């Protein structure tokens, strides 16, 4: 089992249920997960876009694109990932590129209070996200592990992004 897409979580739950002799329970949980994901996409993908930078790290500066798990969450929530055009899943953009793209929200996954990251961002008040203090912190175990909690992270992200969207 090697899930690549967020939709693969439901498929894997179905398989696990079969392997454990609990096919009916596996199918029920898989259906619930897929329904939640479908509902999130339907609710948020048509919302007004908000320019987001997903901060994997600030030293070196790194983000997500394409099929990286956090990029899939951003896409499900209808966020405008400012580095979606990157060639690989985990690009390391130059600071100048980030400053030019002007993110309105900065998203990160962190367990501890990331004082070092916060200090880094405060040096760039020209970024709308910094000016507005528009930071969203997600639970890393929910974001980086292909489990049903990834859907919880998606919901948390979608709901948090709502406060930064301009009405259409």
**Secondary structure (3-state) at 54:** strand
Token pair 């007004």 is found at 48
pLDDT tens profile 97-147:
999 999 999 999 887 656 778 889 999 999 999 999 999 999 999 999 889
Task: Choose among 163, 157, 60: nearest CA to 104.
Answer: 163
Over the chain, what is the mean pLDDT? 92
Radius of gyration of the chain (CA): 17
Give me the pLDDT at residue 55, please: 95
Does the bond joining 60 to the residue before it have cis omega, within 30 degrees of 0?
Answer: yes
- The number of beta carbons lying within 10 Å of the beta carbon of residue 163 is 10
Phi, psi of 87 (to 5 degrees): -75, -30
SS3 at position 49: coil
> In this prediction, what percent of the chain has a pLDDT beyond 90?
82
Do residues 127 and 58 lie in contact, with contact meaning Cβ atoms separated by under 8 Å? no
- Does 1 have pLDDT greater than 70? no
Cα 87 to Cα 95: distance, rounded to the nearest angstrom: 17
User: Are the C-beta atoms of 102 and 51 separated by less than 8 Å?
Assistant: yes
Assess contact for 31 and 11: CB atoms under 8 A: no
84-103: per-residue pLDDT in tens? Answer: 999 999 999 999 999 999 99
- Indicate whether 168 pLDDT > 70: no
């Amino acid at each position: 089992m090697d899930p690549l897409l967020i939709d693969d979580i439901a498929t894997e739950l179905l398989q696990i249920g079969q392997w454990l002799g609990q096919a009916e329970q596996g199918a029920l949980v898989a259906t619930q997960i897929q329904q939640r994901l479908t509902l999130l996409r339907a609710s948020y993908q048509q919302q007004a876009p908000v320019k987001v930078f997903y901060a994997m790290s600030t030293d070196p500066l790194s983000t997500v694109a394409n099929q990286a798990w956090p990029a899939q969450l951003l896409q499900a929530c209808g966020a405008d990932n400012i580095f979606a055009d990157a060639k690989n899943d985990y690009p390391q953009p130059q600071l100048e590129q980030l400053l030019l793209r002007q993110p309105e929200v900065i998203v990160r996954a962190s367990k501890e209070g990331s004082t070092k990251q916060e200090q880094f961002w405060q040096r760039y008040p020209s970024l709308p996200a910094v000016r507005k203090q528009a930071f969203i912190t997600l639970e890393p175990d929910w974001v980086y592990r292909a489990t049903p909690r990834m859907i919880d992270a998606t919901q948390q992200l979608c709901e948090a992004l709502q406060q930064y969207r301009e009405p259409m």
